[in-house]
Structure 1
């Protein structure tokens, strides 16, 4: 770890009214992202933090490698699918060959201009926001480049107000999905959909990427993208990150991988308040999310995005 990285652990960058952790983001890197030169062969994974980013990086890796596990087991996910807004991205891309796999947490309005006229494929992964906020809270507790989240109640309030890193979840998910028509090649998929039917989700992504898989390739991809396999893969689970940056004694980056786990953290009052804010902020959206599970089966239907 460089002195530069250590010096920026406590830095917060503000860009276009949104705050970002300065450990990985600079004004220069954020400007680089908003002016990014997309290529038609690019695949861009877009997520709000803690919404299935790592999972989709693994899915696209395994689909594009047609079930071959070598890249998954030898190359860290941040190197094979760099975040375009993080300072190291240009150097990674200079050393890369072939079609590029990219990642971003940026809201649509910051990338709209860069994507205009591009045929790059965009995959947007969304997740039940109650599970997002719980996962995000626990990540703040172990990631030393993120602010102290305070109590869960305090963090939940910040999340609902959109004053957390990367801004408002509501603005992020609505911004990308409501502008899906402005993107030539756009795939919307949910974390819950992947959890319920990983094999089907792999097939959905392979069709979108026009990269059909044979049965044995699909089986290999499904095994590699399973939560247990990923949680033990050091190229995926962030255990390669030094303790000074990510304190693994305070939790796991890949914590549970479940859906509906928010019920173990939210109080009834917090859940009710969240529902009211959600209803207000998402009144103009057709998106539906899974809120609960019964045993191991999903008891709420996942509805497709009607505008895509």
Structure 2
């Protein structure tokens, strides 16, 4: 199918229509947040699944059942997708944990009224591009990425699902209410320290041995074995794992294995122009 068949333009942003039908978007517009909700926000392919593993373990005090009893899309559901309509989120006990890829201007009024806790994960856009390229090739509800350089130009222009990485990151960096920023690369470098900092933000006191156990469990190689988190339950006609695994490598710098010298130069030029006024020290700088 073509992109017009697969995507919906919602508030200026392209969304995969299959997982974001009108009824789920309407429900999200009316959603009522609580002040103690925890919202994981990411641009796609920036470490969402990883954070959906870490946060429940922190909230549960390291209890493994928190990530072994429910698929991650039910334990920390995306608020804007079709499946969420059937989860009866209003009845969940606090603190509820949610995920979204939306930008601030797409959030419902109650988000700004009650100001829930936000964890925003940022990843080097070059690695985001590589992960997105592989993901679009294996997911049937997304447009085929086509040739690498063609997809790169779309990515740099924001003509992909959830729009521009640059716009997404800058918009959430400008949001200052109860938000914790962390880079994917920080988590790779020091996962135990990252877990400790996230726990502090969530006001959850954990012993060092619990923090260590959570970090060990959330190492990519270990998380990949969790069938509640690795998307192995998704039918192959929706995600064709013969083309690419959903949890592929989980490393830093994979872009060096894919992008050409000319593509890197182009990427760097666009990045410099878009991020020139951003006052934030990214872990890859």
Q: 1:66 aligns with which of 61, 65, 68?
A: 61
CA distance in 2, matches of 1:267, 1:135: 16
Q: Would the alpha carbon gap of residues 151 and 114 (structure 1) be closer, same or farther in structure 2, given more than 3 Å must change?
A: farther
- Per-residue CA deviations over 1:170-217 (Å, capped at 9, x if unaligned) read 10000011122xx2x110011001110000000001001111111232
Q: Deviations over 1:30-79 (max 9, x none)?
A: 23223321111200000000001011111101101111111211210000
TM-score by length of 2: 0.94
Q: Give the corresponding residue for 2:171.
A: 175
Structure 2 unaligned runs (5+)? none
Superposed displacement of residue 18, structure 1 = 1.1
- What is the alpha-carbon distance in structure 2 between the residues aligned to residue 224 and residue 23 of structure 1? 32
Deviations 1:265-305 (A, max 9, x none): 111111111111111111121234344xxxxxxxx5xxxxx
Pairwise CA RMSD:
1.4
For residues 35 and 158 of structure 1, the distance between their equivalents in structure 2, rounded to whole angstroms, comes to 32
The match for 2:246 is 253
Q: Secondary structure at the match of 1:102?
A: strand
Verify: 1:12 aligned to 2:23, yes or no. no
Aligned residue for 2:179, secondary structure, equals strand
1:123-134 alignment, distance < 5 Å? 123-134=119-130
Residue equivalent to 2:25? 30
Deviations 1:212-238 (A, max 9, x none): 111232122112111011111111110
CA distance in 2, matches of 1:287, 1:151: 33
Aligned to 1:250, the other structure's residue is in SS state coil
What does residue 139 of structure 1 align with? 135
Inter-CA distance 86–112: structure 2 relative to 1 (3 Å threshold):
closer
Counterpart mapping for 1:211-222 below 5 A: 211-222=204-215
SS at match of 1:90: helix
Could you say what secondary structure the match of 1:109 adopts?
helix
Of 145, 152, 168, the residue aligned with 2:148 is 152
**For residues 29 and 152 of structure 2, what CA distance do their matches in structure 1 show?**
29
Question: In the alignment, which residue of structure 2 is the partner of 1:107?
Answer: 103
Deviation at 1:112, TM superposition (A): 6.6
Provide the C-alpha distance between the structure 1 equivalents of 2:29 and 2:282, rounded to a whole number of angstroms: 29
The aligned length equals: 280
The question of 1:265 aligning with 2:258 is answered: yes
